[in-house]
Amino acid sequence: MLDVRRPILAAIAILGFASGPTFADDRLLSRIAFGSCADQDKPLPIFDAIAAQKPELLVLLGDNIYADLDKSKKVTVDLIREKYQILAKLPSWQKLRATCPILATWDDHDYGKNDSGAEWPLKDESQKILLDFFNVPADSPRRTQKGVYHAEIFGPPGKRVQVILLDMRYFRSPLKRAARPDFGSGIRVPPYLPNTDPDATMLGADQWKWLEEQLKQPAEVRLIGSSVQVVHDEHPWEKWSNMPAERQKLLDLIRSTKASGVIVLSGDRHYAELSVDATLVGYPLYDITSSGFNQGFDIWRAPEKNSRRIGGMPSGNNFGMVLIDWSKTDPLITLQLRDEQGDVRVAHKLPLGSLTSGTLAVKPTNPSNEIALPEGVLGPIEARGKLGEMATVQFTVRGGRTIATSKRILLNSESDFRSDKNFTIVVEPAALMGPFASASFETFKGKTIRAKGLVKEYMKQIEIVISEANNLELVEK
C-alpha cells in the first residue's frame, strides 16, 4: 500500500519499480478507481483503460497478484515475490502506477492460498512483500502491526473522503465447509455454511477496535474496502455472512458509531455488480463489486440469485469508479462499473444526503425474528449450518402453505422459499394434535414459531420435519 500522505523519493525502487505520485491530505478527491483480481501471467490491458479515466486515487481490493494458481508449484516466499516482480515489469502497470496514488489491501491469492485465513503460515512474510511492493514507509504502523488494514482521510472539512481498507485474511477464523461433497448427483453442495462458533472472527479483536475508531473519525464519504461482499449474502462462496454474527457486528458498528456516507467496495467474485439494502444500517448500504481486472468470465453466464442487485456485469473484465460532484448543494455520488475498454456498463447516482443515519425509519432487528433468541436456540441462517445435527430453530413465519393432498403444513422463514436464507419447518399430520389439532398454514402465518428436530436437506431445501406436537410451539412476546 502506497502511503499517500508521505512524500517518497522517486529514486526509491522496490521490486524493480519506483513509487508513483503522492496525494496531499487536503486535496479534493472526486475520482476514485477501484477493482481486484489481476493474474500477472495474463495480459492486463485494462490498466490502460483505468489510467485513461485519470483517477485521483486507485483502490486495490485484493488478488493483486495470483501466487497459487500453478498447483505444480508450492507457494513459497520466493514465489510470491516473483509474482509481484512479474506485475511490476508490465508496461500497463507501470503506466497506471505513474498516473495516480494507490491504496491496497489483499485477498486470498496474493495472501498466498485460496480461501485461506489466520492459519496461513506465510502470512507475516507475505505482508512484508506486499508492503514493500507498494512502498509503505519503514516507520508506518503497518510495518509493525499484524495485518495490512489501513485508513486515510482526504479533502477539506465538509468534503472529506475516508478510505478504510480491511484485512479479511490475517485474523479470519476457518470457514465452515459443507459436510457432504458432490458425488456426481448433479446438485452442487455449497462449499461453505454459516460458522456460528461464538469465537469465530472475520477481523480479529485489534482490527475490530481499530475499525470502531476509524468510523468515529469525521468524514462525509466513507469507502470501506472489503475483499469479500457484505450486502450480497445469497451465494454459497466467501462472504461476510459466512460468519453471521460478525456481519451483524459490522452493521451494528456502522449504526452505533452513526457513521454516515458508507459505501462498500468489494471484489473476489470474478464478475461485477451493484447491490443495495436499505434495511441494514438505517440508510441504503451500497456494495459495489468489481472483479476482475483480467479474471472476469469470458462468456456470458446467467446471473446468480441476488435479490439486492440493481445492476451488474455477469461477464467481462471490469473496474469500478466512484465519482463525487462536490459542486452540488447535496454532493452527487455516481457509482460506475466499466468494461475493459473503459465503457460504462452500470451507473447509479445517489445524493450524499441519502447516506445519513435516520434517513430511513428502519430499526435493526434480529435477522430471523424480532423476539430475542434464548440461549441454545438458533435463527434460520445459523440453523442452516447444522445439517445432520439436532437443533432448535426460531423464526417468524413469512411464507408457506398447507398441502391439501398430504395435509402437511410448510412453514418458511422467508416469503420466497427459494431464498438461500430460507429455513422450512415441515409439520406432519401426526403433529396436528393437542393445540394444533385444527391448525393450517393460516394458524402460523406472521407468528413466531420454535421447532426442534434433525436438520436435513430435501430437494435443495434445508428443513426440520415435525412429527410430534411437543417439538413445535408458538412463541409469544
CATH code of the domain in which 139 resides: 3.60.21.70
Which residues, other chains included, contact 199 with Cβ-Cβ below 8 Å and sequence gap of 6+? 173
422 and 346 inside one domain:
no
pLDDT at 441: 93
Distance in angstroms (rounded) separating the CA atoms of residues 255 and 268:
26
Cβ neighbours around 90 below 10 Å, total:
17
For residue 394, give the nearest of 413, 408, 421 by alpha carbon: 413
Distance in angstroms (rounded) separating the CA atoms of residues 406 and 161:
59
pLDDT at 404: 85
pLDDT > 60? residue 367: no
Which residues are 311's β-sheet partners? 274
Cell 507501470 sits on residue: 94
Q: Where are the beta strands (DSSP E) in 272-315?
A: 272-277, 285-289, 309-313
Distance in angstroms (rounded) separating the CA atoms of residues 374 and 394:
9
124 and 206 inside one domain:
yes
pLDDT > 70? residue 190: no
Distance in angstroms (rounded) separating the CA atoms of residues 316 and 299:
7
344 and 384 inside one domain:
no
234 and 297 inside one domain:
yes
pLDDT at 189: 52
The CATH number of whichever domain residue 425 belongs to comes to 2.40.50.140
What are the φ and ψ backbone dihedral angles of 96, each rounded to 5 degrees? -65, -40
Query: What is the pTM assigned to this prediction?
Result: 0.74
Cβ neighbours around 390 below 10 Å, total:
10
| Cβ–Cβ < 8 Å for 27, 72 | no
Paired sense of beta strands 409-412 and 399-402, if any:
antiparallel
- Cα separation values, 274 from 47, 106, 175, 266, 286, Å: 21, 21, 25, 10, 7
270 and 388 inside one domain:
no
pLDDT at 100: 96
Q: Which helix (H) or strand (E) holds 57?
A: strand 57-60
Residue 212 lies in a domain: yes
Among 286, 320, 354, residue at a domain's last position: 354
32 and 145 inside one domain:
yes
What are the φ and ψ backbone dihedral angles of 366, each rounded to 5 degrees? -60, 130
Residue 373 lies in a domain: no
Q: Is 424 exposed, middle or buried (0-12, 13-18, 19+ CB in 10 A)?
A: buried
Which residues, other chains included, contact 236 with Cβ-Cβ below 8 Å and sequence gap of 6+? 190, 191, 192, 420
Q: Percent helix, strand, coil in the chain (nearest 5)? A: 20, 25, 55
395 and 466 inside one domain:
yes
Residue 272 lies in a domain: yes
pLDDT > 50? residue 193: yes
pLDDT at 292: 94
Residue 366 lies in a domain: no
pLDDT > 90? residue 334: yes
- Cα radius of gyration rounded to whole Å, the chain: 24
Residue 365 lies in a domain: no
Among 339, 354, 369, residue at a domain's last position: 354
Q: How many CA atoms lie within 13 A of 46 on its CB side?
A: 27
Q: Where are the beta strands (DSSP E) in 89-220?
A: 102-104, 150-154, 161-165, 176-177, 192-193
338 and 467 inside one domain:
no
pLDDT > 50? residue 183: no
| Cβ–Cβ < 8 Å for 395, 369 | yes
Report pLDDT digits (tens) over 198-224: 999 999 999 999 999 999 999 999 999
Q: Which helix (H) or strand (E) holds 350?
A: strand 344-351
Measured in whole angstroms, how far is the alpha carbon of residue 436 from the centre of its chain? Answer: 42
Helix (H, G, I), strand (E, B) or coil at 91: helix
Range of the domain at 466: 380-475
For residue 293, give the nearest of 274, 271, 322 by alpha carbon: 271
The percentage of residues in the chain with a pLDDT greater than 70, rounded to a whole number, is 89
For residue 15, give the nearest of 136, 121, 124 by alpha carbon: 136
Amino acid at 279: T
Report pLDDT digits (tens) over 406-463: 899 999 998 888 777 889 999 999 999 988 988 999 999 999 999 999 999 888 789 9
Q: Please give the tally of structural domains in the chain.
A: 2
Residue 159 lies in a domain: yes
Report pLDDT digits (tens) over 39-93: 999 999 999 999 999 999 999 999 999 999 999 999 999 999 999 999 999 999 9
158 and 297 inside one domain:
yes
Distance in angstroms (rounded) separating the CA atoms of residues 321 and 337:
6
432 and 322 inside one domain:
no
- Cα separation values, 361 from 85, 221, 231, 280, 358, Å: 51, 21, 19, 11, 6
DSSP 415-429: SSTTSTT--EEEE-G
Report pLDDT digits (tens) over 239-284: 999 999 999 999 999 999 999 999 999 999 999 999 999 889 999 9
pLDDT confidence bin for 173, thresholds 50/70/90 = very high
pLDDT confidence bin for 364, thresholds 50/70/90 = very low
293 vs 384 pLDDT, higher one:
293
For residue 40, give the nearest of 102, 104, 83 by alpha carbon: 83
110 and 145 inside one domain:
yes
Alpha-carbon dihedral sign for residues 150, 209, 355, 287:
positive
Which residues, other chains included, contact 243 with Cβ-Cβ below 8 Å and sequence gap of 6+? 173, 194, 195, 200, 201, 202
Could you tell me the three cell numbers for 174? 476457518
Residue 26 lies in a domain: yes
Residue 93 lies in a domain: yes
289 and 404 inside one domain:
no
When mean pLDDT is compared across 141-145, 296-300, 339-343, 400-404, the lowest value belongs to 296-300
Report pLDDT digits (tens) over 3-28: 444 333 332 333 333 346 665 667 89
Report pLDDT digits (tens) over 101-147: 999 999 999 999 999 999 999 999 999 999 999 999 999 999 999 99
